[in-house]
Structure 1
Amino acid sequence: MSDPAFHSRRSRRASPVRHGRLARSHPFRTLAKVLGISVVVAIVTTGSVGAFALSELDRTVTSNAVDISNGDASKTSAPAPHIGAISGGFNFLMVGTDNDANQGDAFGERDATLNDVNILLHISADHKSGVAVSIPRDLIVSHPECTDPTTGKDYDSMSAAPFNEAWERGGLGCVVATASKLTGLDIPYAGVISFNGVIAMTDAIGGVPVCVNEAIDDPYTGLDLPAGTSTISGSTALAFLRNRHGVGDGSDLSRISAQQSYMSSLMRTMKSASTLTDLGKLYGLARSAASNIKLSSNLASLDSMVAMAYALKDVNLDNLVFVQYPGTTGDSDFPGKVVPSTDTADQLMAAISSDQPFSLDANAMGNGVVADPAAPAAPAPDATAPTDAATPAPTTSAPAVIGGLKGQTASAQTCAKAND
């Protein structure tokens, strides 16, 4: 059943997440601030990295900057983070496009560029927890007025259309504006990556272990994986992330579940390899990201990229939750599309905007994944440990459960479920 309230999304705007008020950096000031870092990086990379290399990298990032103001001049002055960690909480929208002018016909012919993958990341003010919300590309939403920053063309608002039509109406800025209208959240930071960029980034990471419960051979994406766990990178990782027909029920919602399984494994891999605290590894990732990810203007500097990574390093994997934006299918008015479940969505966005932790119910896993049978069991309580009956155990209130959400934590080990 569709939620009849989705046509009239709430007009209120959630209180914006607190951000640090820091000035935009200049490339040469950036070099001064990372002088100490450059020494460490130079050692890690056997002397091959110096001030000139960092300057070139910073210029590459800056030259790829994207205007996400959508015609609103006030959006161009959002504070930029600096070396250290971003001050306070923040919201960042990562968009994956399915057609890039430089990708050729390797991934099939397309007559338009769409925002195929849309992930809204919220990091709490204390940098101890986070939520990554996957917005289905076929989610039916209202679209705001948008302005194409390249052509200057204006687009009228729309009351109900798939979310992935936003890109064609004004690029990354329009996608950000549409996501902000949907969620009620201020989204000051954003980035976009293409298929070729995903390949380069997964190679830079060094591979991500993924599990499938049965062998998957998907002719649509070329994904061919045996049952069990495989470490994937490059084009295989892209095929896994694009794979829809081979998992769950073949829907985009099943694909989102599989993508969340991948992202959870990615975070565990980066934590275990100390990537977010190893300046040499951070530089390698930054170098790949500089060429393959286009960031919003207020993030487009090397120090800003490192600052965002530093903000992620202390997030506990148990407290990093991947969820799907709540929605239902089967609406006769929108066949084959997803209609928002506004009651559940309102609970989710209220928790995010107020930085309140929440938990998932026992049935939260999407139909594109199953629990990994090879995952280690949780340790049992030590029955021999001494106890002091006179000292009561500290009590903490458990996070509220938001029923109906589909997703998992970054610590949960899951396998993509092959489409029977």
Structure 2
Amino acid sequence: MTDPTAAPLRPRHGRPGRPKSIARHGRLSRRHPFASLGKIIAGIAVVAGVSAFSLTTMAVGDVVHSTKPAVVLVDPTTHKEVTQQQGIEALQGSFNVLLAGSDSGDGNKAYGERGENLNDVTMLMHVSADHQHVTVVSFPRDMLVPIPSCPNPKGGYYSAMSAQKINVTLSYGGLACTALTVEKLTGLSIPYAALIQFDGVVDMSNAVGGVPVCLSGPIKDPYTGLDLPAGTSTIKGQQALAFLRTRHGVGDGSDLGRISNQQVFLSSLVRTIKSADTLGNPLKVYSLAKAAASNMQLSTSLSNVQTMASMAVALKGADLANVVFVQFPTNYVDGGGAVAPDEAGEQALLTALQHDEPVQVTGTTGIGSVQDPSHATSASAATGAATDAASAPTPTPSTAPTAGSTPSASPSSSAVALPSEVHGQSADDYTCSRPYGK
């Protein structure tokens, strides 16, 4: 059956007052990318996967002949290409990496039927100047945002639009347009970007030997073919892909529920990649790099092995509690067929990112997940579980979230406590996927 897609491109009236961004225009380059960064939805590969890149130079070299052309990001103030860092040392200061997940599936049931290439997963990773805090923001695919004038890969520019679903930007102007749109939305400069094919999830989950995920009840989704029992399952391959793509099987069947379900997987993936079992195994590290490189299209600023190694050096010391996944806060509009940014939550989140401040989630983990009661949790997950338990039916007794759990220490004494409108969790929070309607 068909998963809903964005409406045809047409201008709408959007909200004024967006923070100004440093827009970058892109064009395709015929250079072959030198390598590739972690895999999204695994989208976070850069978050954790990048930690392994300090050991993956050999794998990067092995995939140097990738056939995907790199995307050039150009600074409009100088009209010059965004330069690549040279030398393998830690990147200086804060930096942002855009990760877009393409939903093209080539007949794979887990993708659903698609008539166009959409970025159904769009994430922005912000790394703080001290390289100790990482914030990964997931943008709902149906969120209405202004789309700036984007370069047409065939020449010229597309017209700007006042409001359109963010997941059409990839089909509208390619990865460069998605980067421009997120820059306009957030007011953040984005010098690095990567387009990930979902098949990379299969390869990455295989490379680490599978990713353990917790389910508070059995999940069955005929749209993706997912069929998992309650409890913890270690998933990889097509099963991992189906888990990340499921929407009808979790929460309320919405894309918002899918985001929180994906964060269950991503937090576990980060823990798995950063574990000694992975980083201490050269074969696994090599396989991770190859899985990433084979399934990504990079901006030229990111396609240099030295740049990725520098990111690895910068991120290797980040504590799991300081890697925070958040869902961009939204409210339903247009009769529930789309969402728009929630002003209070949006302002708090973007102000923190623009000022390079670490964040702490005080809201719930999201409609598609609950706290895993069998693990100690941080303040964000404990608070989220308490709210979840008060507002939703209780899962099976053996896996029910524990309301009112005593939170552990805050990830950082200087972290900005986000309002409850912002949902998410840290990589140190153990959460379980919530079955549809439960």
TM-score, normalization: structure 2?
Answer: 0.76
Q: Does 1:84 align with 2:92?
A: no
Q: Quote the RMSD (CA, aligned, Å).
A: 3.1
1:93 corresponding residue in structure 2:
98
1:292 corresponding residue in structure 2:
295
Question: Residues 303 and 206 from structure 1, CA distance in 2 versus in 1: closer, same or farther, beyond 3 angstroms?
Answer: farther
Q: Does 1:132 align with 2:136?
A: yes
Question: Residues 206 and 82 from structure 1, CA distance in 2 versus in 1: closer, same or farther, beyond 3 angstroms?
Answer: farther
Q: Match for 1:236: what amino acid? A: Q
Q: Does 1:57 align with 2:63?
A: yes
Structure 2 unmatched runs, 5+:
1-12, 25-32, 35-51, 379-411
Q: Is the 8 A contact 2:22 2:183 kept in 1?
A: no
Q: Write the mapping of 1:180-199 to structure 2, written as runs, cut at 5 A.
A: 180-199=183-202
Q: Is the 8 A contact 1:58 1:301 kept in 2?
A: no
1:355 corresponding residue in structure 2:
356
Q: Is the 8 A contact 2:136 2:325 kept in 1?
A: yes
Question: Residues 160 and 318 from structure 1, CA distance in 2 versus in 1: closer, same or farther, beyond 3 angstroms?
Answer: same
Partner deviation per Cα, 1:93-123 (whole Å, 9 max, x = no partner): 11101115xx345444321100110010011
Q: After superposing the two structures, state which structure 1 stretch, 219-228 or 189-198, moved more.
A: 189-198
Distance 2:80 2:263 in 1: 30
Question: Residues 251 and 81 from structure 1, CA distance in 2 versus in 1: closer, same or farther, beyond 3 angstroms?
Answer: farther
1:12 corresponding residue in structure 2:
20
Deviation (angstroms), 1:199: 1.4
Partner deviation per Cα, 1:172-211 (whole Å, 9 max, x = no partner): 0000000111111001101011122221222223211111
Q: Does 1:326 align with 2:329?
A: yes
Q: Does 1:66 align with 2:83?
A: no
Q: Is the 8 A contact 2:128 2:358 kept in 1?
A: no
1:256 corresponding residue in structure 2:
259
2:387 corresponding residue in structure 1:
none
Task: Look up the SS of the partner of 1:170 in the other structure.
Answer: helix
The correspondence for 2:115, drawn from 111, 114, 119, is 111
Distance 1:14 1:346 in 2: 18
Partner deviation per Cα, 1:258-279 (whole Å, 9 max, x = no partner): 1111111111111223645766
Question: Residues 401 and 299 from structure 1, CA distance in 2 versus in 1: closer, same or farther, beyond 3 angstroms?
Answer: same
Deviation (angstroms), 1:293: 1.3
Distance 2:155 2:91 in 1: 32
Distance 2:171 2:77 in 1: 18
Distance 2:299 2:23 in 1: 22
Distance 1:278 1:86 in 2: 25
Q: Match for 2:63: what amino acid? A: L
The correspondence for 1:411, drawn from 428, 433, 437, is 428
2:228 corresponding residue in structure 1:
225
2:345 corresponding residue in structure 1:
344
Deviation (angstroms), 1:367: 1.1
Deviation (angstroms), 1:89: 1.5
Partner deviation per Cα, 1:198-232 (whole Å, 9 max, x = no partner): 21222223211111100111100111111011111
Distance 1:205 1:185 in 2: 33
Q: Write the mapping of 1:259-408 to structure 2, written as runs, cut at 5 A.
A: 259-273=262-276, 275=278, 281-329=284-332, 331=333, 333=334, 335-361=336-362, 363-376=363-376, 397-403=413-419, 404-408=421-425
Equivalences, count: 364
Q: Match for 2:220: what amino acid? A: D
Task: Look up the SS of the partner of 2:66 in the other structure.
Answer: helix
Q: Is the 8 A contact 2:122 2:138 kept in 1?
A: yes
Q: Is the 8 A contact 1:57 1:287 kept in 2?
A: yes
